[in-house]
Structure 1
Amino acid sequence: MTRPTGKVSAFIQRYNPPLGGGNRPGGPLGGPITFMFNPNQLTLTKSASWIPHVVRGAEQAGIAEFSGSEPRSLALTVFLDVTDTHSRTVQQRVESLLTCCAPTMASIAAKAPSPPWVKFTWGQFQTVSFYSYVSQVTATYTLFDSSGTPLRATCAVNLTEISGSKPAQNPTSGSRSARRVHRVVDGDSLPLLAHREYGDPTVWRVIAEANDLDDPTRLPPGTELLLPAPDEIPAVLSRAPGPPAGSVTAGEGR
């Protein structure tokens, strides 16, 4: 295996877990764990759950019922070798990966212990880049110096998706009508979406809160937004202040 030269390096970024729940993590937790060598193999798994129905006395099985999609999982191997460099030791690099399986200090202090969320990133390969948790790290040490310090190791890392597509409906919300998922296009703004969905652009905060938006004026095209059902909107929000500065209100920009 050769060291990458002039290539985009793969890395794993850790994030603070959302202490109050939600489908978006907090800010980055430390710097990225950059791979010394890019992987030469990635295994991406996606499964669907089906419930088989057995018909008693029938020669053939009944029609299976789809029960939902399983989260994506990604298996990759991290190769570590410091035999010809004076950078961080193999032990330090392995320990960085092991922290992905331990609760963060901030989450312990908040009485909501949780390991960090992570995201694997390798250039423009978006299919394998998603928020996930590290379910397992297996480190195999294969070379040591005369003092017993490890110089080479191979780490098998398994990631399991956390944040997938937002549900179209929340069955526990008590809402009498379904939620929707909207994919952002150029020209969209929260007030405009609120006007289309609820007939009132001033309730844009409902959408912002439902999606944990840090900057409601920034809506990258392609982003999926959960639109709460109309009967979930508190009446007080209809008297909320106007739209965020710089946004397009209903009827503008057309």
Structure 2
Amino acid sequence: MAAPSGGRAARGLSRASLSIHQPPTDLGGSMGGAIGEVKFQFNPDQLRLSRSADWHTEPAVAYTRGAPPKFTGSRPAAMELEVFLDASGTPSSTAVQSQVELLLSCCEVTAQSVDSKAPSPPWVRFSWGSFSTVQFVAYVTNVAATYTLFSPSGVPIRATCSLSLTEVASETKKQNPTSGALTARRVHRTVAGDSLASLAWREYGDATRWRVIAEANGIDDPMRLRPGTELLLPSAAELPSSHAPHPSPVRPASTPTEGAA
């Protein structure tokens, strides 16, 4: 199969990517730590975006051309695209196989979500430069991989993957009347074994960000975290740039790695 007509992304051009994250630990939470990323060798030739709204009309004898429709809700956006992977220049490479396996894992429950008693496949975010229309959090509903070229030893070195993504629905964002900030926090009730470090790992993919949770809840002694305590967890988007999630998180210890603030 020939490379897409768009060609390999040249220097200076924005390259599309699909970042894969742990799912939230409860309904309404934000994405967790990074699992991996698929960087497109070739930007897509086309993207199929769709969005739909539901309307319902009840039969009524008083209207000659049918009763007025009633809006019943919007459906999440959906996107379909293809990912072209090619390592034919280095036949001994297993990069194509690894990337395909990463994409297929988007339809499998993560071990961390099982441990958190909230089983779920990963959540993903597709991004492509300033194309903001497609930059939404989603889950993968279908992955189909077709291997089209193999090395002499049988290792796949070229593949085309078709992806179907569905946007994760969220409530309409509202302004915080006191600060003007988006209300992007949620409440977590601690259980036995929870620590600020483990919560930071689940929320941001970086256990060293436990101070963010401590500051948001006025905690002076992070060693005293009793089961049943309700904590406000700022979303990753709410963190200052210095607190951005680390791309390669390290699993937390049972207690914070730093001293109390």
Do both share a fold (TM > 0.5)? yes
Where relative contact order (Cα < 8 A, 6+ residues apart) is larger, the structure is 2
Match of 2:31 in 1: 25
Alignment of 1:47-196 (within 5 A): 47-55=52-60, 59-85=64-90, 87-166=93-172, 181-182=174-175, 188=180
Residue 112 of structure 1 and its aligned partner are, at CA, apart by 1.6
Q: Is the 8 A contact 1:22 1:212 kept in 2?
A: no
Q: Which SS does the other structure have where 2:98 is aligned? A: helix
Report the aligned-residue RMSD: 3.2
2-structure distance, mates of 1:84, 1:216: 39
CA 1:216–1:123 in 2, change beyond 3 Å: closer, same or farther?
closer
Structure 2: gaps (5+ residues): 183-215, 218-229, 242-261
What is the number of residues matched between the two proteins? 189
Residue 22 of structure 1: how far off its partner (Å): 1.5
Identity of aligned residues (%): 40
1:5: Cα distance to partner?
1.7
Could you tell me which runs of 5 or more consecutive residues in structure 1 were left unpaired when the two chains were aligned: 168-180, 191-203, 221-254
Superposed displacement of residue 60, structure 1: 2.5
Partner secondary structure for residue 125 of structure 2: strand
Does structure 1 retain, via aligned residues, the 8 Å contact 2:23–2:120?
yes
Aligned partner of residue 94 in structure 1, secondary structure: helix
Could you tell me which amino acid in structure 1 is paired with residue 21 of structure 2?
Answer: Y
The list of structure 1 runs, each at least 4 consecutive aligned residues, that deviate by more than 6 angstroms after superposition, is: none
Report the CA distance shift for 1:160/1:96 in structure 2 as closer, same or farther (over 3 A).
same
**TM-score, structure 2 as length reference:** 0.63
Look up the match of 1:5: 10
Name 1:39's counterpart in structure 2.
Answer: 44
Superimposed CA distance per residue, residues 212-254 of structure 1 (whole angstroms, 9 cap, x where no aligned partner): 424898589xxxxxxxxxxxxxxxxxxxxxxxxxxxxxxxxxx
Shift of 1:144: 2.3
Larger Rg: 1
The structural deviation recorded for 1:54 is 2.2
Q: Within 2, Cα distance between the matches of 1:44 and 1:210?
A: 38
The amino acid across from 2:175 in the alignment is H
* TM-score of the pair, normalised by structure 1: 0.64
* Change beyond 3 A, Cα 1:163–1:28: farther
CA contact (8 A) 1:130 1:163 kept: no
